[in-house]
Amino acid sequence: MQDRFINCIAQLPKPLSDALIPLLHENFAGHIDALQLAGLVKASGLTEEKLLLVLLPVAATLARPPISDFHVGAIAKGKSGDIYMGGNMELPGEALFHSVHAEQSAISHAWLSGETQIVDIVVNFSPCGHCRQFMNELVEGAQVRIHLPEQKTQPLTHYLPYAFGPSDLNVTAPLLSKQHHELSLDSSDPMIIEALDHASLSYAPYTRSFAAVVLQTKDGATYCGRYAENAAFNPSMLPMQMALSTMARHNRFFSEITRAVLIESAQGKISLVGATMDALHAVAAVELEHIVLEPV
């Protein structure tokens, strides 16, 4: 079991901790599949809803908040039945817009894992307005069920009435729906190919600035992030922030980054290079490789 989970495991009921410990191996980054979840329900004797609330301290352990020291954990349940944990992340000494909220971390975790719909969000503190707007961008986002400790489960519409969302801007394929944008680049570099694949799956209906970031660590592992825009613009999640959040979930230090690639489409209305470089230079002494793709 990873050392970072020792304290939170000690707080769980023993039947649950005994069943959970084998899952918290060195590669665990917050994903529990539907079969494993069913096993935890059986071992704990809890309902699934109660179990997910009890697991929130485990999700909060994934947080990395050096500015606020306020650990928030979130769990997104996909339509597949799998669950995806996330924690909030902040960059020390940097502007707050670089922060990733726990709900964003969990949702991006599910998206990168291939989920096409989120049905439940479980979180240990009431979602802020930023996160409510971010969730409203999802496929059938208004119907996502929000679970909070000691509160009645409610759909997102309860927390975000009279919402403004993708349909107001004539977007019919919301976040997490299947995306594929024709992007092409002649390269044999595996890291650039990975970035290209993720850029083609990115979500940028408002600017057409399809983009992705891939970070490589000294042991050759790679961590990716895709651009996820929002109808209200400000809750958009940048690919660098998503990639860094992915690293944090995998318990990697940003100082381990040895290479960073940003790929973005030239046809977009904006460029993410400035914000991407700002975030990268805050955490690692690495120069950004910036590749701009011309339309196919």
Annotated binding residues, written as ranges, equal: 88-90, 101, 128, 131
Asked whether the CA dihedral 252, 178, 37, 133 is positive or negative, the reply is positive
Distance, first Cα to last Cα, the chain:
47
Question: How many Å apart are CA 293 and CA 78, to the nearest integer?
Answer: 32
Query: Which residue ranges make up the annotated binding site for Zn(2+)?
Result: 101, 128, 131
Sheet hosting strand 31-32, strand order edge to edge:
31-32, 83-87, 73-78, 118-123, 145-147, 154-155
Which residue's entry shows tokens 């790929």? 263
Where does 71-225 have alpha helices with state H? 102-112, 129-135, 156-159, 190-200
Give the CB-side neighbour count of residue 36, counting CA atoms within 13 A: 15
Question: How many Å apart are CA 76 and CA 23, to the nearest integer?
Answer: 18
Give the CB-side neighbour count of residue 233, counting CA atoms within 13 A: 3
Quote the Cα angle for 187-188-193, to 5°.
70
Query: Which residue ranges make up the annotated binding site for substrate?
Result: 88-90
Active site residues: 103
